[in-house]
Amino acid sequence: MLSDERLRGTVLAVDDDIDILRMLNRYFAARLPTFNLITAESGAGALQRLTNNPDLILLDVNLPDTDGFSLAERIRAITSVPIIFLTARVTDEDKVRGLGAGGDDYVTKPFSLAELGARIKAHFRRESQPQKRARMAIFDQILIDYRAKQVSIGDQVLSLEKKQYQLVELLSLNPGQVFSREQLYEKIWGYEALGDDRVITEHIRRIRLLFDRYQVTSPIETVWGVGYKWTS
């Protein structure tokens, strides 16, 4: 795993509040100097900035020409780059909508720059981990290709978001082991006790819906009061 000083990447921040963008620019220059921050003040500007191939997007929900949820869906049609919403919206309904639009996580405004920086570094730290050796696993009708990072049922590849695949990967590599939401959050998102672990519940729900669509019983079992496990 790389040390924080060796982490590199491009982050796209999309927010119509120029003061927030200036604050982020100062923070990146002072605390995250190895990262390249690019900014956009609108949805149209964000789509243009995708040509810079960002490795992570910080996306405000309220934009002048569109809402962040709709923009996330458009981005998802182009790239699988992880999206962290920056938003003052804190209701469960908004979080569910954001995750459904393709978001990976939330940071609630007003946010701590230290917390945001920790999340950014955790994302890049996780992405820098060595790739697993080529291997596959078959669970009844479910085929998991760990090298290609794909889950298939028959000849159909499931359309999983990145975090959803990572949840399937972690659980399936540890069949029978029960993970709490907090443990899953820490292992998948890479930081401890900084976010809302209820995003795990919504991602699991969406994974199960995909299995249901193909009339396959989900191997992800809820252990009530504890967490989740993969049943082989």
Determine the topology of domain 4-127 in CATH. Answer: Rossmann fold (3.40.50)
Note the residue count of the chain.
Answer: 232
Q: What does CATH list as the number for 136-230?
A: 1.10.10.10
Beta pairing, strands 56-60 & 83-87? parallel
What is the amino acid identity at position 41? E
User: How many H-runs (helices) and E-runs (strands) does the chain carry?
Assistant: 8, 11
Confidence of residue 4 (pLDDT cuts 50, 70, 90): low
H or E element at residue 50: none
Q: What is the pLDDT of residue 111?
A: 87
In the chain, CATH 1.10.10.10 covers: 136-230
Name residue, tokens 């604050």: 23
Tell me what the pLDDT averaged over the chain comes to: 87
6-40 pLDDT, tens digit each: 788 999 999 999 999 999 999 999 999 999 999 99
188-228 pLDDT, tens digit each: 887 654 556 778 888 999 999 999 999 999 999 999 989 99
In the chain, CATH 3.40.50.2300 covers: 4-127
Give the gyration radius of the chain's Cα atoms. 18
84-130 pLDDT, tens digit each: 999 886 677 787 788 778 888 888 888 889 989 988 988 888 776 65
40-61 pLDDT, tens digit each: 999 999 999 998 999 999 999 9
Distance CA 65, CA 68 (A): 10
Q: What percent of the chain has pLDDT over 90?
A: 54
Its pTM surpasses 0.95: no
Nearest of 232, 81, 31 to residue 142 by alpha carbon: 232
DSSP letter, residue 158 = P
Q: What percent of the chain has pLDDT over 70?
A: 92
Task: Tell me the mean pLDDT in the region 142-153.
Answer: 91
Degrees to nearest 5, angle at CA 187 with 68 and 120: 45
